[in-house]
Amino acid sequence: MFSLTPTDEQQMLIDTVRRYATEAVRPAAHDADERGAFPGRLVQTGWELGILPGSIPESLGGFADEYSAVTGALAYEELAYGDVSLALRLMTPALVAVPLLLAGTDAQRARMMEQFLGETPPPVTAALLEPAISFDPLRPATTATRDDEGCYVLNGKKASVPLAEGAASILVYAADAETGQAQGFFVEGGTPGLTVGPREKLMGLRALPAYSLMLENVRVDPGQRLGGEAGIDFGLILAHSRVGLAALAVGVMRGALDYAVNYAKEREQFGAPIATRQAIAFMLAECAIEIDAARLMAWEAAWALDQGHDARRAAYLAKEYAAKAALMVTDAAVQTLGGHGYIREHPVERWLRDARGFAAIEGLAIV
């Protein structure tokens, strides 16, 4: 049955996350962007909402009946409405938990799942992006070659790895030298050959500590390969990630439009609120349409994933669509505020910087 009404439980989650995003995150977002970090306390409060444990199935110690990308998308939109850097920061552990859920072996899950159910976020992250203009997530330049003892040897460079500094474990995606397929490898912090570079300086997402990573003959045990000997279907993980990014983009857009609508109704020029002019009103109406369209694209892809359909194409289109729409909407928000929109006292320019990121990033969020 076609329906777009979330379940009661999902609605409760939406309400909870929305309250946190509007009451706690939004007021802190400007300073976090300027300083490059959110206060640890705020991150901790966010973790205590239990979004990640709430998505892990009961069979693995979590609280969900079953894993749901739709539920994830709902929560991500609300988080990003607060702030997308915070959303990415808070959900970094999911970059490991969700692939583990989707593709881990039983032994890997047994070994690693518990850390995601604890009272503080585990210091784990994942590395997918690479510092190359023509980066292709399905065909990373980082390689994993087997040595004589059956271990994998990783070589390459990674970019924009969130919270890499001090991470106890990093899920590194590299092309299996034999098949050319992208595969995941758990690399422990401090493994010889693994160097965490300096913190990256980005246009947006500035409150998300992200680092470059160097891998020089980093040896990992075969048991550390995600999915074990069989490996993974990285396309599926990527689809989950794209839906996550799309949902985050929707949250950013929604925040920007709300702000622009309020401003346009207040701001008077030529003797009337600027919102009473079609040039402004139509721009905002188009934003509203794009936001709803982007959300439906994300939900549809998430729903298809939950149904077990092949949703790669849907997820790809959802992310492409959302990335484009996010740029259009946040740009329109800046335009609505005119010169004032260009000043950092208003959040719209930050949202425009953040939104530009969606075109550039893959794998930084996952539902």
Partner 1 sequence: MAISFEIPEKLRQGLQMTEAVAKGVMRGEARRLDEHEHERPATFISLMWPVLREQQKRQLDRQAAGGPKREGLGTLNLNMVLTFEMLSWGDVGQTLCMPMALLAGAAIEAVGTPAQKERFLRRFAEGDAPVWGAMAMTEPGAGSDTSAIQTTATLDPATNEWVLNGEKIFCTNGKLALDESNGIVVVWATVDRAAGRAGMKPFVVEAGTPGVTVDKVEIKHGIRASDTASIVFRDARLPYENLLGSAEVHRTDGTTKGFKGAMATFDASRPLIAASAIGVGRAALEFVKDKLAAEGIDIPYDRPYHALSAVQRDVIEMEMQLKAAWLLTLRAASMLDHGQHNSLEASMAKTKAGKVVTAITQQAVAILGPLGYSREWLVEKWMRDAKINDIYEGTGQINTLIVARRILDYSSRELR
Site string for partner 1, 188-207 (x = CB under 8 A): --------------------
User: Residue 153, Cα to own-chain centre: how many angstroms?
Assistant: 28
CB nearer partner 1, residue 15 or residue 31: 15
Any idea which residue has 């989707």 for tokens? 102
Residues 195, 211: Cα–Cα separation, whole Å: 10
CB nearer partner 1, residue 37 or residue 288: 288
Instruction: Sort strands 169-176 and 182-188 into parallel, antiparallel or unpaired.
Output: antiparallel
CB nearer partner 1, residue 136 or residue 221: 136
Any idea which residue has 């075969």 for tokens? 222
Catalytic residue among 130, 300, 349, 362: 362
Q: Choose the binding region for partner 1 from 4-12, 28-36, 169-177, 334-342 (rule: CB under 8 A).
A: 4-12
Q: Which of 29, 51, 154, 284 binds partner 1 (CB under 8 A)?
A: 284
Residues 335, 342: Cα–Cα separation, whole Å: 9
Q: Should residue 247 be labelled a site residue for partner 1 when binding is judged by CB under 8 A?
A: no
Q: Among 174, 145, 142, which residue's Cα sits nearest to residue 156?
A: 142
Residues 61, 292: Cα–Cα separation, whole Å: 35
Q: Should residue 265 be labelled a site residue for partner 1 when binding is judged by CB under 8 A?
A: yes
Q: Let me know: does 92 contact 162? Beta carbons within 8 Å.
A: yes
- Three-class secondary structure of residue 169 per DSSP: strand
Q: Which of 65, 217, 282, 344 binds partner 1 (CB under 8 A)?
A: 282
Site string for partner 1, 66-85 (x = CB under 8 A): ----x---------------
Q: Let me know: does 166 contact 121? Beta carbons within 8 Å.
A: no
- Three-class secondary structure of residue 75 per DSSP: helix
CB nearer partner 1, residue 127 or residue 257: 257
Q: Should residue 300 be labelled a site residue for partner 1 when binding is judged by CB under 8 A?
A: yes
Residues 130-149 that bind partner 1 (CB under 8 A): 133-138
Q: Should residue 233 be labelled a site residue for partner 1 when binding is judged by CB under 8 A?
A: no
Q: Which of 123, 189, 320, 335 binds partner 1 (CB under 8 A)?
A: 320
Q: Choose the binding region for partner 1 from 13-21, 81-89, 120-128, 281-289 (rule: CB under 8 A).
A: 281-289
Query: Which residues lie closer than 8 Å to 243 by C-beta, 6 or more apart?
Result: 69, 72, 73, 298, 301, 302, 305, 311, 315, 318, 319, 367
184: left (phi over 0), alpha (psi -120 to 50) or beta: beta
Give me the sign of the Cα torsion angle 222, 224, 230, 236: negative
CA atoms within 13 A on the CB side of 106: 1
Q: Should residue 366 be labelled a site residue for partner 1 when binding is judged by CB under 8 A?
A: no
- Three-class secondary structure of residue 306 per DSSP: helix
Using alpha carbons only, give the angle 262, 267, 272 rounded to the nearest 5 degrees. 115
Site string for partner 1, 326-365 (x = CB under 8 A): ---------------------------------x------
- Minimum separation from the CB atom of position 316 to partner 1 (A): 5
* 266 belongs to the catalytic site: no
Question: For binding to partner 1 (CB under 8 A), which residues are involved?
Answer: 1-7, 10, 70, 133-138, 235, 238, 257, 261, 264-265, 275-276, 278, 281-282, 284-286, 288-289, 292-294, 296-297, 299-300, 303-304, 312-313, 316-317, 320-321, 359
Which residues does the annotation mark as catalytic?
362
